[in-house]
Structure formats: C-alpha cells, structure tokens
Amino acid sequence: MQKKTIETNIEIYSFEELDNAKQTLINKAKEQVSKAYAPYSGFHVGAAIELENGEIFAASNQENSAYPSGLCAERIAMFFANAQYPDVAVKTLAIAAYTNGEFIADPVTPCGSCRQVLLETETRFEKDITILLYGTKNIFQLENVKQLLPLCFEKSSLKG
C-alpha cells in the first residue's frame, strides 16, 4: 500500500491587506448579491471575474423552483466572460455570499459543478486563475483552481 497526501494552500488576508485591484473585484462580487434571485435558499452569491485584458464581469446566483434549472453566480460570470472574450484568459475570480441579512463570516467555496467549470477555463487557457473567497472575518486566496479541486478530471484524463 502507498499513501499520498494532498495539500491545499490558502493565503488568508484581511480586506485592507489586498491590493486595489483585488479589493475592487471583491466589492464587485459583493454588489452582485443584491441582484441574486434566491427565494428558496435565501443564500445570495455574487461573483466577479477579471480577465487578462482588464475587463470585469460580475453575476449573481439565479434559483429556480425546478432546482437543477438554477445556476450559480460563478458559472454565470465565467460563461458570460468566455462568450464575450473567448480568447482572453481569466486572471482572478472573487466570490462573496450573503444570507440572513449579512455577508457570511467565513468564506464560501464554489460548488462541485462550478469547480469543474472553473478548472476547464483554467485548463483551456493554460493559465492559473487566482481565487478570492470573501468572508467578513477574513479572505482566502488560492493560487489556482486545482487548489479547490485537487483530484480533478481534466482534458488529460481523457487520454487515459
């Protein structure tokens, strides 16, 4: 038997420790929570994406009474950015969540489906996407999507 250890590296910051570009992106994600349609979960999520060309795309989660028909903020923002600029890599993604009248204290992470979509975009452009997860207590920064999805299924997996 062999044993393998997988680590996820997370840098933890306060908002004030981040540079202006990251603060701006988090604020864009925070603004989006007010645009979420979340009558079922009451969990409002905002996401903002900065592309390598400086363009920023932001979105919120959109629920549906037929649960699989809704979509997360991260995927909406990513698909819209990729549709508008299909040849421009994503630089950074920021995510914020709001529930029970306030932003959450501990950062929320993307769901499994969002992680897979984010990984596909990272793989597509062969460039790491910095992930910023906002919480009022602190902000997690991950260097790439593989830190969120270490045992990932990607293009190279299809080759066997």
> Is residue 102 annotated as part of the catalytic site, yes or no?
no
DSSP 101: T
Look at residue 122 and give its three-state secondary structure: helix
Contact 132, 141 (CB under 8 A): yes
Catalytic pick among 11, 16, 52, 74: 74
The type of residue at 130 is T
Determine how β-strand 11-13 pairs with β-strand 56-60: unpaired
Helix, strand or coil for residue 65?
Answer: coil
Active-site residue set: 74
